[in-house]
């Protein structure tokens, strides 16, 4: 679940910041010109969009932004190395509170933004416009550890033309999904019926929706629940879909491989992040034939995952003031409007009313479906991906391991979940 303060606390938090912004003194974008800051970037669509527009920030401020970019796992490895050494090599970094928020906060890696928020703030920066939930996700013990860059969650990208050709309606339930992939495979053996994440550290992001839609949760009374009836049902279905109806080598698949497979017309359905819209649509081949929907409901209903990346400042940075300028620019309405046109769902409500964004949305039916799916995720989603403990990142390994063992046929569901529960209960017991 979201690490969300109670509603009253969240509202009070927002109001205190709004007041701070309202009393901000005259703001000078050139105050830190000549400074150089280092930005540790995840090479996902969000990070790539920020890097694309960073020359505008450099021109505006005179601050040079040195980009240190990696794929997601490598980015985190780099961050751990720098932070454990208490090095000032990194000034800003992208973070996923639903994954590492508690861990990084406990380790003291995030700079507290409260002082910056109450200090130098541009007059047109509207804190009220930011998603209160996403801000709360990045707030620990009253300290704001980052500001949101996006809203995202897994959705099903599906080929309307292939489903029509094969006489398959988009499934309304998870049971219907099982029947649909069988028909798709029989209809066109050259096309992968269903693809999602099989890579161990990445798989929990998409698997979590299956777990919740089956009526399950990761933890109850401080005990792992993968071997609960709902947990076993979710593990069995997710692994079976990838094993019997996914592409060869799916245990190595994360978002780059999934988007490529679907974009090239080699998958009928791809369950992947809303962030991947631009990559999936790159080249235009899928623009006319793609539909987008949340994962079908299961016996537990429809409980999609919704999370968001934040931009944070390192506690060890010697350039916190200059870094705050970049963070403020990156989360501003003007920058978020540009990123929205790159297929990055904005955490600012006002962007939905931007004329350029409205025009962009109306240009293609698939974009309208993307917005509609995001609205469902935002309204009904939860952010429990892995275990709600400080060791959340470590908790994802046994989940992914169980999924891999099932895909590869190495264990039964009962064996895989039992071994995972043993490892996970040991993690839980340490806290």
The 10s digit of each residue's pLDDT in 218-248 is 999 999 999 999 999 999 999 999 999 999 9
Q: Is 200 left (phi over 0), alpha (psi -120 to 50) or beta?
A: alpha
Does 2 fall in a domain? Answer: no
Distance CA 267, CA 260 (A): 9
Phi/psi for 194 (5° steps) reads: -150, 135
> What are the tens digits of pLDDT across the range 366-411?
999 999 999 999 889 988 999 999 999 999 999 999 999 999 999 9
Tell me, what's the pLDDT at 12? 42
Tell me, what's the pLDDT at 349? 86
- 20 and 111 co-located in one domain: yes
Residue 302 token pair: 């429809």
Distance CA 97, CA 213 (A): 22
Provide, rounded to the nearest whole percent, the portion of the chain with pLDDT above 70. Answer: 94
> What are the tens digits of pLDDT across the range 20-52?
444 445 789 999 999 999 999 999 999 999 999
Does 285 fall in a domain? Answer: yes
Mean pLDDT, residues 283-311 taken together: 96
Domain count, the chain: 2
Last residue of a domain, one of 366, 391, 417: 366
- 330 and 270 co-located in one domain: no
Last residue of a domain, one of 344, 366, 388: 366
Asked if 424 contacts 392 with a C-beta cutoff of 8 angstroms, the reply is no
- Band of pLDDT at residue 119, cut at 50, 70 and 90: confident
Does 145 fall in a domain? Answer: yes
Tell me, what's the pLDDT at 353? 86
- 57 and 195 co-located in one domain: no
Distance CA 416, CA 240 (A): 13
Does 392 fall in a domain? Answer: yes
- 285 and 395 co-located in one domain: yes
- 160 and 54 co-located in one domain: no
Grouping H, G, I as helix, E, B as strand and the rest as coil, residue 187 is helix
- Give the pairing of strands 147-148 and 223-224: unpaired
- 345 and 407 co-located in one domain: no
Does 144 fall in a domain? Answer: yes
Does 1 fall in a domain? Answer: no
- 416 and 284 co-located in one domain: yes
Asked if 226 contacts 235 with a C-beta cutoff of 8 angstroms, the reply is yes
Residue 167 token pair: 């006489």
Tell me, what's the pLDDT at 25? 54
**Domain interval for residue 278:** 154-306+373-429
Tell me, what's the pLDDT at 101? 94
- Band of pLDDT at residue 127, cut at 50, 70 and 90: confident
For the chain, what is the mean pLDDT?
92
What pTM value is reported for the model? 0.88
> What are the tens digits of pLDDT across the range 208-223?
999 999 999 999 999 9
Tell me, what's the pLDDT at 352? 86
Provide, rounded to the nearest whole percent, the portion of the chain with pLDDT above 90. Answer: 87
Tell me, what's the pLDDT at 268? 98
Last residue of a domain, one of 338, 366, 394: 366
Distance CA 155, CA 314 (A): 32
Strand partners, 54: none
- 291 and 322 co-located in one domain: no
The candidate with the shortest Cα–Cα distance to 114, out of 149, 67, 155, 146, is 146
> Which domain CATH number covers 44?
3.40.190.10
Tell me, what's the pLDDT at 10? 41
- 56 and 89 co-located in one domain: yes
Please report, for residues 213, 262, 393, 401, the alpha-carbon distance to residue 196 in angstroms, rounded to integers and kept in the order given.
Answer: 16, 10, 20, 15
Asked if 19 contacts 48 with a C-beta cutoff of 8 angstroms, the reply is no
Task: Please state at what angle helix 229-245 crosses helix 174-187, rounded to 10 degrees.
Answer: 10
- 215 and 338 co-located in one domain: no
The neighbour count for residue 183, using CB atoms within 10 Å, is: 14
Asked if 50 contacts 339 with a C-beta cutoff of 8 angstroms, the reply is yes
- 99 and 145 co-located in one domain: yes
Mean pLDDT, residues 198-213 taken together: 97
Does 76 fall in a domain? Answer: yes
- 44 and 108 co-located in one domain: yes
Does 141 fall in a domain? Answer: yes
- Band of pLDDT at residue 53, cut at 50, 70 and 90: very high
């Amino acid at each position: 679940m979201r690490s969300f303060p109670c509603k009253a606390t969240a509202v009070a938090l927002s109001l205190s910041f709004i007041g701070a912004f309202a009393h901000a003194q005259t703001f000078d974008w050139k105050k830190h010109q000549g400074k150089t800051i280092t930005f540790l970037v995840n090479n996902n669509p969000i990070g790539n969009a920020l890097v694309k527009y960073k020359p505008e920030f450099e021109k505006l401020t005179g601050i040079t932004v040195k980009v240190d970019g990696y794929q997601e796992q490598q980015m985190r490895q780099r961050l751990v190395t720098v932070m454990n050494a208490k090095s000032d090599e990194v000034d800003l970094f992208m973070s996923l509170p639903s994954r590492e928020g508690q861990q990084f906060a406990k380790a003291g890696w995030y700079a507290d933004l409260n002082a910056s928020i109450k200090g130098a703030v541009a007059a047109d920066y509207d804190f009220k416009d930011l998603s209160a939930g996403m801000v709360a996700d990045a707030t620990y013990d009253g300290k704001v550890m980052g500001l949101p860059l996006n809203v995202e969650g897994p959705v099903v990208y599906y080929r309307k033309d292939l489903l029509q050709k094969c006489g398959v309606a988009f499934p309304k339930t998870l049971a219907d999904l099982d029947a649909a992939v069988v028909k798709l495979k029989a209809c066109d053996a050259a096309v992968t019926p269903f693809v999602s994440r099989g890579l161990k550290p990445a798989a929990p992001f998409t698997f979590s929706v299956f777990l919740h839609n089956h009526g399950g949760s990761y933890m109850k009374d401080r005990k792992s629940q993968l071997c609960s009836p709902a947990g076993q049902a979710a593990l069995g279905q997710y692994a079976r879909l990838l094993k019997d109806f996914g592409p060869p080598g799916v245990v190595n698949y994360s978002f780059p491989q999934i988007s490529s497979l679907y974009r090239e017309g080699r998958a009928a359905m791809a369950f992947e992040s809303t962030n991947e819209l631009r990559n999936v649509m790159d080249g235009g081949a899928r623009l006319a034939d793609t539909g987008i929907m949340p994962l079908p409901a299961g016996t537990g209903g429809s409980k999609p995952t919704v999370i968001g990346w934040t931009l944070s400042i390192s506690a060890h940075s010697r350039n916190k003031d200059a870094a705050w300028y970049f963070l403020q620019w990156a989360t501003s309405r003007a920058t978020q409007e540009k990123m929205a046109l790159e297929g990055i769902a904005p955490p600012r409500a006002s962007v939905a009313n931007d004329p350029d964004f409205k025009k962009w949305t109306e240009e293609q039916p698939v974009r309208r479906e993307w917005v509609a799916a995001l609205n469902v995720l935002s309204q009904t989603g939860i952010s429990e991906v892995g275990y709600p403990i400080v060791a959340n990142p470590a908790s994802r390994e046994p989940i992914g391991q169980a999924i891999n063992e099932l895909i590869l046929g190495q264990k039964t569901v009962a064996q895989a979940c039992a071994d995972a529960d043993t490892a996970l209960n040991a993690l839980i017991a340490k806290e």
